[in-house]
């Protein structure tokens, strides 16, 4: 390497130490990439101070290191607190300190790298989907009691497909099975599984769907934790039974399914009842029905016997004769009551007739009294209402008289 020639006349103006550090500070802190940067490394040192946690991130491959700090006010927001030997991913901003001519990473967030990061993403997705209600038991649909057609989504090369066919042939021969092939491992698996489930839904014949895959490493089963697959299971128009893996934790697809059987064979058994079990259940119900009918008949026979004994103790003709006598007694009481009411009514009518006869004007006239009327045929009851020379009509018991008033006498005082 050759050293460039130095020319004082063309050399730029010299910078002070402060000016150079300020320039470096401006270059680093104004760089948009360094304002918010993710850094992966191993925690090679950690010092918990009153102001914050000071630690060093080291690249295990190259040995490169950078100082970092998580201030005390920010530590409560960290997903994980850096500890010596941890592999982490830190989000932060590069800051320059002119007094020491050094820089460090001011950290906002720390996540576990590798498997830890996957676990964190799994937990976050699970919490979000659970908040949407995709795992709620109240939304689980019951499986059909006796489906005639079921669909299976799996890989045609997977052992799970063979296990399901053997289980169904053994437990429920003659069942109609629709197979919708899918890739169940690798990056293309989620989209392939969703497409296979969509084909089943579009076909419309299946009454239940089995989503199955045999056991494998955790990495091989990650497609069943993919959000697309989980939503396809939750939104399926028909009930879904999952049979994924063997001895492992439930996948998110298992949580969203209407029934989780863990293994393909168990999924096949859960999706459709065995004919032998149906026959046994039918025989048991038949035996129960016979027992109930026999018990009912026995009870009925006992009732008939008790009623017969009661009839023997109380003769029916005697009961009828007693009721006939009671009816005749009621009849006599009714006739007597009606006769009494008629006599009382007749007496009341006779009394009223006599009273009315006493008030009849003709009756009064027949006793010697007379009725006097003027020319207007109005009764005359006072002498002062007539005048001398006025003509009056006098009604007697037999006939009447026409008279002329000659003199008016005042009533005695």
What is the three-class DSSP state of 216? Answer: coil
The answer to whether domain 147-273 has CATH 3.40.50.11400 is yes
Confidence (pLDDT) at 322:
83
Model pTM greater than 0.85?
A: no
Q: Where do the structural domains in the chain lie, given as residue ranges?
A: 17-113, 147-273, 275-316, 365-404
Which one has a higher pLDDT value, 232 or 247?
232
| pLDDT bracket for residue 72 (50, 70, 90) | very high
Assess whether pLDDT exceeds 60 at residue 9: no
Percent of the chain, pLDDT > 70? 88
Q: Which pLDDT does position 59 carry in this prediction?
A: 87
Residue 19 is predicted with a pLDDT of 81
> Confidence band (pLDDT; 50, 70, 90) for 8?
low
Instruction: Quick: pLDDT tens for 151-198.
Output: 999 999 888 888 888 888 888 788 899 999 999 988 899 999 999 999
Residue 226 has pLDDT above 80, yes or no: yes
What is the rounded CA–CA span in Å between residue 81 and residue 115?
16
pLDDT of residue 141: 92
The predicted pLDDT at position 29 comes to 84
pLDDT recorded at residue 196? 95
Given the candidates 2.130.10.10, 2.40.50.140, 3.40.50.300, 3.30.450.40, the CATH classification of the domain at 17-113 is: 2.40.50.140
Q: Is the pLDDT of residue 125 over 60?
A: yes
Query: Is 90 exceeded by the pLDDT of residue 211?
Result: yes
**pLDDT (mean) for 275-291:** 77
Selected residue with higher pLDDT from 59 and 358: 59
pLDDT at residue 317 greater than cutoff 80? no
The enclosing H or E element of 45 equals strand 37-48
Report pLDDT for 177.
92
Q: Is the pLDDT of residue 116 over 60?
A: no
Q: How far is CA 272 from CA 101, 130, 277, in A?
A: 73, 28, 11
Which among 215, 221, 220, 213 has a CA at the least distance from the CA of 242?
213
**Coil/strand/helix, residue 116:** helix
Q: What is the mean pLDDT of residues 209-219?
A: 82
pLDDT at 274 over 70: no
| CA–CA separation, 172 and 208 (whole Å) | 15
Mean per-residue pLDDT, 15-33: 83
- pLDDT value of residue 221: 82
Rounded Cα gap, residues 165 and 393, in angstroms = 131
Distance, CA of 36 to CA of 43 (rounded, Å): 20
pLDDT of residue 136: 93
The average confidence (pLDDT) of the chain is: 85
Does residue 156 or residue 214 have the better pLDDT? 156
| Inter-axis angle of helices 264-271 and 159-171, nearest 10 | 30
Quick check: 275 pLDDT over 90? no
């Amino acid at each position: 390497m050759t050293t460039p020639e130095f020319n004082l006349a063309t050399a730029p103006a010299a910078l002070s130490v402060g000016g150079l550090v300020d320039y470096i500070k401006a270059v680093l802190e104004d760089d948009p990439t360094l304002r918010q940067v993710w850094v992966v490394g191993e925690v090679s040192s950690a010092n918990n101070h009153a102001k914050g946690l000071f630690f060093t991130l080291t690249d295990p491959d190259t040995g490169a290191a950078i100082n970092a700090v998580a201030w005390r006010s920010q530590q409560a927001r960290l997903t994980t607190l850096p500890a010596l030997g941890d592999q982490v991913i830190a989000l932060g901003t590069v800051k320059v300190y002119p007094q020491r001519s050094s820089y460090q990473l001011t950290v906002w967030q720390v996540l576990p790298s590798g498997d830890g990061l996957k676990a964190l993403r799994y937990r976050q997705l699970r919490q979000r989907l659970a908040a949407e209600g995709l795992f709620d038991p109240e939304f689980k649909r019951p499986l059909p009691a006796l489906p005639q057609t079921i669909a299976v989504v799996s890989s045609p090369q997977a052992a799970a497909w063979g296990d399901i066919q053997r289980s169904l042939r053994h437990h429920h021969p003659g069942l109609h099975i629709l197979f919708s092939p899918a890739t169940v491992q690798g990056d293309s698996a989620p989209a392939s599984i969703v497409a296979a489930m969509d084909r089943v839904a579009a076909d419309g014949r299946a009454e239940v769907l089995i989503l199955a895959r045999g056991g494998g490493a955790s990495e091989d089963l990650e497609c069943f934790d993919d959000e697309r697959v989980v939503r396809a299971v939750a939104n399926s128009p028909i009930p879904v039974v999952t049979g994924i893996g063997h001895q492992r934790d439930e996948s998110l697809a298992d949580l969203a399914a209407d029934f989780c059987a863990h293994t393909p064979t168990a999924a096949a058994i859960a999706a459709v009842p065995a004919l032998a079990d149906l026959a046994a259940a039918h025989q048991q119900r038949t035996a129960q029905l016979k027992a109930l009918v026999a018990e009912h008949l026995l009870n009925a026979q006992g009732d008939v016997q008790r009623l017969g004994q009661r009839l023997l103790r109380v003769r029916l003709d005697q009961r009828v004769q007693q009721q006939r006598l009671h009816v005749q007694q009621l009849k006599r009481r009714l006739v007597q009551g009606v006769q009494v009411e008629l006599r009382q009514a007749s007496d009341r009518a006779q009394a009223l007739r006599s009273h009315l006869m006493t008030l009849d004007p003709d009756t009064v006239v027949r006793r010697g009294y007379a009725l006097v009327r003027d020319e207007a045929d109005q009764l005359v009851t006072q002498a002062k209402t007539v005048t001398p020379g006025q003509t009056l009509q006098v009604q007697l018991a037999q006939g009447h008289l026409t008279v002329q008033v000659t003199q008016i006498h005042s009533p005695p005082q």
